[in-house]
Structure 1
Amino acid sequence: MDKTLPLFTPVRLVALAAAALLAGCALGPEYAGPPEAAPQAQRSGQFVRAGDLANAAAPLNRWWEALNDAQLNRLVQQALQANPSLASARARLQQSRANLDLEQANAAPSVGASALAAHARLPPANLGALTGGSSSGGSSASSVNLYNLGVDASWEADLFGAHRRAIQAAGASAQAAEASLADVQVSLTAEVVNAYINLRDRQHRLALGEQSVQAQQDMLALTGQRVQRGTASSLDQIRVQNQLDATRAELLPLQAEREAYLNQLATLLGQEPGTLDAELNAASPLPLPPQQVAVGDPVALLRRRPDVRAAERTLAADTAKIGQAEAARYPSLKLFGVIGLGGTHPSDLTRLDDFLALGAPMLSWNFLDFGRAKARVTQAEQVRDEAEMKYRQAVLEALRDAEDSLSRFRYGRITVATLARSKASADRALELARQRYQAGTGTLIEVLDTTRQQISAQQNLLQAEANLTRSFVGIQKALGLGWGEAES
């Protein structure tokens, strides 16, 4: 006769559970770090489009201070303190940390206390009914009092690492929430700076537009005088009038955008629209970026950028959850214990030598679940695979953002240099037109037309400078700057 035990006899299950408990094993894959998502960039250690834009200095986390605008610095700090989205992200971080505390507590024993005072009325005993004979007489009902004080404890042994995996998953999720908070800070600082740049850009373009309107009004008046003297046609006057109307129409969207950016800045600072109007209505110089930008290397980018770190920590959490699902397929061992004092009189509660003590292990295993546990494992594995693909995508997006921002910044500098030369030419043309007018060889209308062209050149240069500063902001956001450990 074969004495070998079947694969899943109670004896073997207990032995398996004891061995697992002693070995401290945990089912499921061990997280070995993120996969290699951008090998070429990490091997080269440099950005393709960095060129002469980069220097050896470490990137500034408070990068907006490089723009040298004290008012902008104050706005960013106020936003970091009062922005509702940032406060919401902080709340999510506290939730994830509380969940980690909960999972750690779940792995510890549970101890409770109870007290009981009860009065029970018992029905009369009917011995005849119990014995099958007749009862010689009835018996009266009786009552009893019960008093009890007790302490109970329970603990589930972590045989297959379910609690350990749960703690690992909760810890990684908390770190992902911390990285997400940093990502909100990165986006917030970039949004505040961009809104401020756009506001200053619109204010200066409006001022230049009003100068152009004034110059065209003067041209219209002079053209009207020439029409009266017969030296110009009515068609010339209509053309100047149409040009004036077009310039006035171009100012209206700029005015609406100026108000919109004022409202945006107020809401980013957690204030009502219109709150900052008095403070920011006066035009201020447009902030310009430094000549060089410290960009570091792609490996540093992947370590620093918050959305990449959040994706990596989410991958770690989802990997640990596979172990949780695996552990649910195997038996669980729970230990129960009860100690109680009591009796039918209150004085029985003081009899320490007469107490109830109970200890009981319970081994349970839902071995016939028709594939539910296996399906949960498969589901957890697919969630983990999805998280890995999201991590790879986050890495590629981060590198693309950095490369695109560097490219825009490089060509933006070329555009600014080109338009600066165009403005210098327009300045020279205006000076020559004025000299000719003063010498009597030119007309005032030529001076006014040249003035209009010079103002247009200023507007083009201003817009290019604003675009260049926005490209600088894009680089800082792509590098994942704008947050700090102390702020998390």
Structure 2
Amino acid sequence: MPAVAPNAAQRTTFLRAPDATAATAPSAQWWEALGDPILDDLVAKALSGSPTLAAAQARITQARANLAATNAAFTPKANVGASAAEVALPGAFTNDKSRLSKQIYAENFDASWELDLFGANRRRSEAARDRMDAAQASAADAAVSLSAEVVRTYAELRVAQAHATLLDKQVDLDRRLLDHATQRFKLGTVGSQDVDEAKSALAQSESDTSDTGAQITVLADQLAVLIGREPGALDDLVAHPAPPLHVPSTVAIGDPARLLRSRPDIRVAERQVAAANADVGAHIADRFPKVTFTGILGLGGTSVGDAFNPGSLVALAMPQIKWNILDGGRTVALKRNARGALVEAEAKYRGTVLDALEDAEASLTRFGSQRIALAKAAESREAAEHLAGLQVQRAQGGTLSRADALKAERQALRAKMAEISAGGTLTSDFVAVEKALGLGWEAQK
């Protein structure tokens, strides 16, 4: 394999690894760290029932069949045949004035075997095996993407459900604020502007509630399709909300060398390089002579019985050397084409390795940053809740208006929704890290 990213392969940690990560070996079933049995069941169903993975498995079957067909070149070829013919020859062919007319019956068995003297068949077998390995790695890569998409969609669903619960409370607060503003307007203590502002806030909250409900339904249907079911099959998830997912305090990520071994897309590119290299070797071998051994056994004569009479046995053994020295440059052109394909495969391999490392480092950077963002969102929510509590007490004591206390409660709800959103983003970043590490496919074993 071409030497790619030698520094990364030697490092014991990622450059952008945040404090909340560890260089210990991560688990293939990484989603289990989120501690949600429903999610575990959904991922298992996706890995066993997804049409995407079924198609990938079918490509593996095709590649195995192609390997078996290629390996058949190492075995002898045999044919059995029987024939009956009516022969009529003029006297000119028999030195006789009369016309010869005969019936001939024969059966024969022939076998041939090509000696793989220069390794052409062996190299083609290597190429077929490498492509089968690439198909298996491609299926693993599909499993990585699928498991990550299931977790990400499920996490978004739970965040949306948590938002929906808080939005219901916000709608209730906005209605109370509108009632309060309307009463004060009737008393002449506030202008119509306060009423209009309250109406606008209520309308926006009701709109947000409707949008969130639609989002929940869409996400549930997306999950259903991901596990190979029809839309609507997971409506129970819509009817029974659950808390958002929580990322573990410490995430095992391993090291760059492990990533280079684990990511299936790198394995795909690596096997494609090996297959292209084997193709070059096969085309080089095609320039040399081919040695074939052929044997024929036959029985025959002018009657049906002669076709089964050992006395009429005919045997022929024939070694053959064939060297295609003049083909208009076709063999040379095919070899040149194979070398070009090899250069292309090597370039793609290098690009895949570098993209994988960049993906991992970028995912870790975003994950570390979002950890901080979530902590700040939690601080903001705590401050808003503390302030809301104080404002309620002041309103009860008569030193603050009820409207100001309600607005403080609303602000605390908004801060809570912001914290939930930050937690959802952190979960998505966690999923991106695990996907970048190439985890998830071993769950199929």
1:437 is displaced (CA, Å) by 1.6
- 2:2 is matched with 35
Question: Which protein is bigger by CA-based radius of gyration?
Answer: 1
1:94 paired residue number: 61
**Partner letter of residue 177 of structure 2?**
M
**Cα displacement string for residues 389-432 of structure 1 (whole angstroms, at most 9, x for unaligned residues):** 11111111111111111111111111111010110011101111
User: Compared with structure 1, are the counterparts of its residues 397 and 281 closer, same or farther at alpha carbon in structure 2 (3 Å cutoff)?
Assistant: farther
Contact 1:45 1:297 in 2 (8 A): yes
1:149-188 map, 5 Å: 149-188=107-146
Q: In 2, are the aligned partners of 1:183 and 1:307 still within 8 Å (CA)?
A: yes
TM-score by length of 1: 0.87
Tell me which residue corresponds to 1:10: none
Determine whether 1:479 maps to 2:445.
no
Q: Which AA in structure 2 matches 1:85?
A: T
Q: How far apart are 1:375 and its partner, in Å?
A: 1.6
Whole-angstrom distance in 1 between the partners of 2:356 and 2:147: 18
Match of 2:148 in 1: 190
Taking the aligned partners of 1:71 and 1:264, their CA distance within structure 2 comes to: 16
Q: Deviations over 1:265-324 (max 9, x none)?
A: 111111111111134432111111111111111111101110001110110000110011
Quick check: 2:34–2:246 contact (8 Å CA) kept in 1?
A: yes
Q: More deviation in 183-192 or 360-369? A: 360-369
Identify which of 270, 287, 296 aligns with 1:329.
287
| Alignment of 1:372 onto 2:338 | no
Do residues 63 (structure 1) and 21 (structure 2) align?
no
Separation in 1 of the partners of 2:211 and 2:325? 70
SS of 2:441 mapped into structure 1: coil
CA distance in 1, matches of 2:318, 2:377: 85
The answer to whether residue 48 in structure 2 is matched with residue 78 in structure 1 is: no
Q: Deviations over 1:210-248 (max 9, x none)?
A: 211111111011100000001110011111212222223
Aligned-pair RMSD on alpha carbons?
Answer: 1.8
Distance 2:281 2:90 in 1: 58
Q: Distance in 1 between matches of 2:238 and 2:312?
A: 81
Q: Distance in 2 between matches of 1:83 and 1:258?
A: 21
Cα shift readout 1:62-81 (whole Å, capped 9, x = no counterpart)? 11111000000111111111
Post-superposition shift, 1:123? 4.8
Quick check: 1:125 aligned with 2:125?
no
- Distance (Å, rounded) in 2 between the aligned partners of 1:112 and 1:372: 31
Aligned partner of residue 413 in structure 2, secondary structure: helix
Provide Cα deviations, 1:143-189, integer angstroms capped at 9, x if missing partner. 43322222111122212211011011011111111111110110010
Report how far residue 124 of structure 1 moved.
4.6
Aligned-partner Cα distance in 2 for 1:99–1:158:
19
Identity of aligned residues (%): 41
Structure 2 residue matching 1:52: 3-state secondary structure: coil
* SS of corresponding position for 2:251: coil
Which residue of structure 2 aligns with residue 437 of structure 1?
395
Matches within 5 A, 1:239-258: 239-258=197-216
Of the candidates 152, 158, 164, which is equivalent to residue 206 of structure 1? 164
Are 2:225 and 1:264 aligned?
A: no
C-alpha spacing 1:276/1:152, structure 2 compared with 1 (3 Å):
same
Query: Residue 301 of structure 2 contacts residue 312 of structure 2 at CA under 8 Å; is this kept in 1?
Result: no
Give CA deviations for 1:318-352 in whole Å, capped at 9, x if unaligned: 01100111122222222221111222223223432
In 1, the alpha carbon distance for the partners of 2:34 and 2:362 equals 21
Does structure 1 residue 289 correspond to structure 2 residue 247? Answer: yes
Matched-pair contact (CA < 8 Å) for 1:119–1:143:
no
Aligned-residue offset at 1:56: 5.1
Of residues 360-369 and 375-384 in structure 1, the stretch that sits farther from structure 2 once superposed is: 360-369
In the alignment, which of 155, 179, 200 is matched to residue 221 of structure 1? 179
The code of the aligned residue for 1:42 comes to: A
State the AA in 1 paired with 2:310.
L
**Secondary structure of 1:312's match?**
helix
Counterpart for residue 308 of structure 1: 266
Residue 274 (str. 1) matches residue 225 (str. 2): no
TM-score normalised per structure 2:
0.96
Instruction: Name 1:317's counterpart in structure 2.
Output: 275
Please name the residue that 2:349 is paired with.
391
- 1:296 alignment partner, SS class: coil
- Most deviating of 226-235 and 101-110: 101-110
